[in-house]
Amino acid sequence: MTTETQTKQSGNAGGKVKDQVAIITGSGRGIGRAIAEVLLREGARVVISDINAEVTKQTADELNKDGAQVIGVPCNVTDSESVEKMVTEVVAQWGRVDILVNNAGITRDNLFMRMSEEEWQAVIDTNLTSAFKVTKPVLKVMSKQRFGRIINIASTTGVHGNAGQVNYAAAKAGLIGFTKTLALEYASRGITSNAVAPGFIDTAMTQKLSEENINKILDKVPLGRMGSPDDIAQAVLYLAGPGSYVTGHVLEVNGGLYT
């Protein structure tokens, strides 16, 4: 079946990102998966991609219903070869990439003086250098199309800092600089580049924190609750679809947590 036929049969009548091809890294679970679900609901063709091949397949299978168009392509964002393979496979399947969400990320928290070089490097590699590796081959495709939406998942920590997360803060602050610079370099080609900076979101990443720490953070959230992965996905949808005159922006989605 050709892509065109698949699209016609997809059953997505409307949608803010209809037929657009979206790659979401680290989308096997958590925020990435929620982004995939929202973009699918709005008519996109979605690539589920995670370092964990089994989770990639399972998530893609679960989302692939009601005429949705989903493929699962495992990829380790710290490995250039794996990234090139993933992008090549997506282009072979669908011929284009309209939306890239650099979402894969990890934490290795520690106070600065106790932080090992391994903890520092792992977080910089997975949260920052990964964006360099994934965005490069995707931008080649977007430049030819003269259209693209790059959305990087940063963090409140990258904007305001957070004790115990110097590696993560540096990586996410770096990602914000990356976002703003690409916005300047690629605006003339119809490509926007924005970041979403989530606050405290209920996923596996935060579920590993102690109850005491969770309550301490919640005390600082004016809206009085953790955010949901869907709260972040709605912001991504805006930047991918209706927010076409927005570029170089950092959209903080944090319930008012600004410290």
Instruction: For the CB of residue 84, give the shortest distance to ligand NAI in the complex, in Å.
Output: 14
| Catalytic residue (one of 168, 186, 245, 258) | 168
Residue 101 phi, psi (nearest 5): -110, 110
Q: Classify the C-alpha dihedral 63-66-68-74 as positive or negative.
A: positive
The DSSP secondary structure of 13-33, one letter per residue, reads ---TTTT-EEEEETTTSHHHH
Decide: helix, strand or coil at residue 150. Answer: strand
Nearer to ligand NAI, 30 or 148 (CB): 30
Let me know if 168 is a catalytic residue.
yes
Instruction: For the CB of residue 202, give the shortest distance to ligand NAI in the complex, in Å.
Output: 7
Nearer to ligand NAI, 122 or 246 (CB): 122
Residues that bind ligand NAI (CB under 6 A): 25-26, 28-32, 50-52, 75-78, 103-106, 126, 153, 155, 198, 200-201, 203-206
Instruction: For the CB of residue 194, give the shortest distance to ligand NAI in the complex, in Å.
Output: 15
Instruction: For the CB of residue 57, give the shortest distance to ligand NAI in the complex, in Å.
Output: 13
Using CA atoms, how far apart are residues 167 and 54, in angstroms rounded to an integer? 29
From residue 221, give the alpha-carbon distance in Å to each of 88, 195, 210, 253.
42, 21, 17, 11
Nearer to ligand NAI, 95 or 177 (CB): 177
Using CA atoms, how far apart are residues 51 and 106, in angstroms rounded to an integer? 12
Burial of residue 199, with CB atoms counted within 10 A of its CB: 0-12 exposed, 13-18 middle, 19 or more buried: buried
Using CA atoms, how far apart are residues 145 and 17, in angstroms rounded to an integer? 16
Nearer to ligand NAI, 106 or 246 (CB): 106
| Active site amino acids | 168
